[in-house]
């Protein structure tokens, strides 16, 4: 059976049609424009986004945010947090009962253990949080653990240096944070921790993802937040 | 950093907003410049900053707790020695107790050293006169 290709007609009379169903083609993305693969075979949408049903593929520069951004499912925000300039970093993300993944990468140093926190709604709530953690420091030969109350989400030594991955539920009656981290420690060089933290209040809405804070400066920290649900 | 402290009208707890726009509408908050978010307290009558002595006592308690956890993790590594000796003692097998004490003398000696060091650290923490001195105390047992 003969195959008809776009840009051709069966009698071979027309090539390079100006439009397809009325839409122009261009390597530069724009409204009502068909974007072909580029010379490297990549669909390059540059600064625009691809919306696939309810899933958005887009990276937003969080450093430019000044008000809560309605992050869509699949969309992510990236920040460079200069802790020398400020010990706090407002994230400016609207939450709306969402589930998020947050990755934090801090420069490696072993001069001090540096604790970090997530303050939901950019606020501390006195002793409204509890956490439990378990882990082990390199060469210690044993397990460490503990639990306590807090006035925000405790992220252990997240800003000490290393990598932390958090899963965050902002659902009003289930405001939880789980973190896995491979971090620097001043006595041992490094440690692995797993921690879970809970905002014990089940009625207060978590509307803004909040502000990250650290107890001590440690260079520039990269934060990447993606909305999962 | 700046914080704005207030008593939450529904939760009736002390809250500190890190952004001015995060203060709930209609709430009068008190602005503070703080080094740490823990510096602000509500003492039952007023919202205020902690005194130096309150900070010192709090940090002492935290350091002592850290020391306790650390010492427990050090001792846990040789707990099996104690369990073996205790078992022999329960069975009234004093000969076995002596054999075990000999066999594990290095571990027993280290446990003793850890406990002596623990007491010295406790004293150092309790005797610290100011925050700088206290923060300079490193909890690390070097007698391994």
pLDDT per residue as tens digits for the range B83-115: 999 999 999 999 999 999 999 999 999 999 999
The torsion of the CA quartet A211, A217, A219, A222, rounded to 10 degrees, works out to -20
Spatial distance between the Cα atoms of A28 and A46, rounded to a whole number of angstroms: 8
CB-based contact, B76 to chain A, within 8 Å:
yes
Mean per-residue pLDDT, A211-217: 96
CB-based contact, B140 to chain A, within 8 Å:
yes
User: Which chain B residues are within 8 Å of A86, Cβ to Cβ?
Assistant: 1
For A99, B97, B103, B141, the CA distances from B91, given in Å and listed in that order, are 57, 10, 19, 35
B74:A142 CB<8 A: yes
- The H-or-E segment that residue A183 falls in is strand A174-183
Tell me how many degrees the CA angle B23-B26-B31 measures, rounded to the nearest 5.
45
CB B59 within 8 A of CB B134: yes
Residue of A142, A144, A156, A200 to mutate, testing the B interface (most B Cβ within 10 Å of its Cβ): A142
Look at residues B58, B105, B56, B108 and name the one whose alpha carbon lies nearest to residue B79.
Answer: B108
Mean pLDDT in chain B? Answer: 94
Q: Give CATH 2.60.120 domain extents, chain A.
A: 49-227
- How far does the CA of residue B55 sit from the closest CA of chain A (Å)? 15
Mean per-residue pLDDT, A36-54: 77
CB A184 within 8 A of CB A162: yes
A125:B10 CB<8 A: no
Its CATH architecture, for the domain A49-227, is Sandwich (2.60)
Residues 6+ apart with CB under 8 A from A168: A99, A100, A101, A102, A118, A176, A177, A178, A209
- How far does the CA of residue B88 sit from the closest CA of chain A (Å)? 25
CB A195 within 8 A of CB A132: yes
Spatial distance between the Cα atoms of A176 and A102, rounded to a whole number of angstroms: 13
CB-based contact, B32 to chain A, within 8 Å:
no
Between B37, B77, B140, which is nearest A124 by CB? B37
User: Which chain B residues are within 8 Å of A128, Cβ to Cβ?
Assistant: 11, 13
Between B18, B76, B139, which is nearest A122 by CB? B18
Nearest chain B residue to A117 by CA: give it.
B37
Q: Where do we find the tokens 């090539």?
A: A15
Look up residue B131 and give its two tokens. Answer: 């925050």
CB-based contact, B142 to chain A, within 8 Å:
no
pLDDT tens for residues B36-79? 999 999 999 999 999 999 999 999 998 999 899 889 888 988 99
A65: helix, strand or coil: coil
Confidence band for A47, pLDDT divided at 50, 70 and 90: low
Q: What is the ipTM of this complex?
A: 0.80
Pairing status of strand A33-34 against strand A55-57? unpaired
Q: How many CB atoms lie within 10 A of CB A109?
A: 15
């Amino acid at each position: 059976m003969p195959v008809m290709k776009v840009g051709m007609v069966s009698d071979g009379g027309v090539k390079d049609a100006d439009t397809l169903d009325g839409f122009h083609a261009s390597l530069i993305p724009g409204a009502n424009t068909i974007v072909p693969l580029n010379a490297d075979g990549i669909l390059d949408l540059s600064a625009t986004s691809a919306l696939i049903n309810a899933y958005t593929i887009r990276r937003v520069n969080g450093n430019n945010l000044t008000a809560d951004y309605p992050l869509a499912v699949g969309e992510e925000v990236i920040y460079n947090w200069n802790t020398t300039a400020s010990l706090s970093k407002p994230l400016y993300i609207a939450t709306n009962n969402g589930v998020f993944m947050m990755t934090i990468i801090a420069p490696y140093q072993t001069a001090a253990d540096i604790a970090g926190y997530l303050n939901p709604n950019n606020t501390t709530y006195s002793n409204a949080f509890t956490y439990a953690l378990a882990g082990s420091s390199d060469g210690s030969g044993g397990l460490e653990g503990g639990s306590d109350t807090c006035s925000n989400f405790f992220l252990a030594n997240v800003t000490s240096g290393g990598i932390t991955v958090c899963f965050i539920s902002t659902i009003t009656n289930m405001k939880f944070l789980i973190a896995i981290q491979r971090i620097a420690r001043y006595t041992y060089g490094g440690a692995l921790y797993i921690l879970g933290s809970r905002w014990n209040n089940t009625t207060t809405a978590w509307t803004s993802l909040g502000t990250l804070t650290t107890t001590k400066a440690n260079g520039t920290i990269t934060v990447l937040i993606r909305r999962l649900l | 950093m700046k914080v704005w402290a207030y008593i939450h009208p529904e939760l009736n707890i002390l809250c500190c907003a890190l952004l001015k726009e995060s203060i709930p509408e209609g709430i009068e908050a008190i602005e503070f410049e703080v080094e740490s978010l823990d510096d602000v307290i509500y003492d039952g009558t007023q919202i205020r900053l902690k005194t130096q002595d309150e900070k010192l006592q709090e940090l002492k308690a935290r350091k002592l707790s850290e020391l306790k956890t650390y010492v427990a993790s050090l001792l846990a590594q040789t707990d099996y020695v104690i369990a073996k000796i205790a078992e022999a003692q329960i069975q009234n097998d004093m000969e076995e107790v002596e054999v075990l004490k000999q066999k594990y003398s290095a571990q027993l000696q280290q446990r003793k050293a850890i406990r002596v060091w623990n007491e010295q650290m406790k004293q150092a923490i309790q005797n610290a006169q100011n925050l700088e001195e206290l923060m300079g105390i490193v909890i690390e047992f070097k007698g391994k």
